Chain A
Amino acid sequence: KNEVEQSPQNLTAQEGEFITINCSYSVGISALHWLQQHPGGGIVSLFMLSSGKKKHGRLIATINIQEKHSSLHITASHPRDSAVYICAVHNTDKLIFGTGTRLQVFP
């Protein structure tokens, strides 16, 4: 069983839709990261969370430590949001990655 599970694996949406990506984990963590990976392969950090909720523009990330669950929301989605979104948990001195959610937003 993977230590970090994401759902869904693939997601398609029409421009303007509200998107939710979920992440569950089974290990102890000091923080949870949401990352974005574009087709060229580069990885960009979106959020680092250890509790509560963070917002950056149209992106919102929440975490529930007791339930070992986090969500990434995208409001008013846009085709430029198309990418792979990865949940990664900070465990000791390393990140443990989920398999990613491939999001495609169509105009």
Chain B
Amino acid sequence: EPEVTQTPSHQVTQMGQEVILRCVPISNHLYFYWYRQILGQKVEFLVSFYNNEISEKSEIFDDQFSVERPDGSNFTLKIRSTKLEDSAMYFCASSETNNEQFFGPGTRLTVL
């Protein structure tokens, strides 16, 4: 069964460093999403992406964040200068028709 994959599973970085989180959505899906979950809190929407552009973003998704679909398979989330409060689990999701979303296993980001 097709699935969304994410790499790495765990990323540790120093405050101020740039990180890139990678996702490979399901191959025929057209809608892509990033969410995050700070430890002990609920999942929060970051950004949705369709037709090579951002379709919606939350207040969390400020100028420090960017997304890209550099080729036909990968979907990346970049954090330019990480802060302590960026420590969270980051989930990628994809959808064929902006309905049911399929989630990846997540990347745990730890900022020291």
The answer to whether B56 touches A41, judged by C-beta atoms less than 8 angstroms apart, is no
The answer to whether B44 touches A97, judged by C-beta atoms less than 8 angstroms apart, is yes
Residues in chain B near residue A40, CB distance under 8 A: 105
Q: Which residues of B (64-105) have their CB < 8 Å from a CB of A? A: 89, 91, 98-103, 105
A60 to chain B, nearest CB (A): 18
B91 and chain A: residue at smallest CB distance: A43
Q: Which residues of A (10-68) have their CB < 8 Å from a CB of B? A: 30-31, 33, 35, 40-45, 48
Residues in chain A near residue B41, CB distance under 8 A: 99
A97 and chain B: residue at smallest CB distance: B43
The answer to whether A31 touches B43, judged by C-beta atoms less than 8 angstroms apart, is no
Q: How large is the interface on A (under 10, 10 to 19, 20 to 34, 35 or more residues)?
A: 20 to 34
Mostly helix, strand, loop or mixed at chain B's interface?
Answer: strand
The answer to whether A97 touches B98, judged by C-beta atoms less than 8 angstroms apart, is no
Q: How large is the interface on B (under 10, 10 to 19, 20 to 34, 35 or more residues)?
A: 20 to 34
Residues A93 and B48 in contact in the complex (CB < 8 Å), given A41-B108, A100-B42: yes
A50 and chain B: residue at smallest CB distance: B99
Residues in chain A near residue B35, CB distance under 8 A: 95, 97
The answer to whether B101 touches A95, judged by C-beta atoms less than 8 angstroms apart, is yes
Residues A42 and B105 in contact in the complex (CB < 8 Å), given A48-B99, A94-B56: yes
Q: Which residues of A (58-107) have their CB < 8 Å from a CB of B? A: 86, 88, 90, 92-100
Residues A98 and B45 in contact in the complex (CB < 8 Å), given A42-B106, A45-B102: no
A92-B56, A97-B45 known; 13 other A-B pairs, CB under 8 Å?
A31-B99, A33-B101, A41-B37, A41-B105, A42-B106, A45-B103, A93-B55, A93-B98, A94-B45, A94-B58, A97-B44, A98-B42, A99-B42
Ranked nearest first, the 5 interchain pairs of A and B with the lowest CB-CB distance are: A93-B56, A93-B48, A43-B103, A94-B45, A97-B43
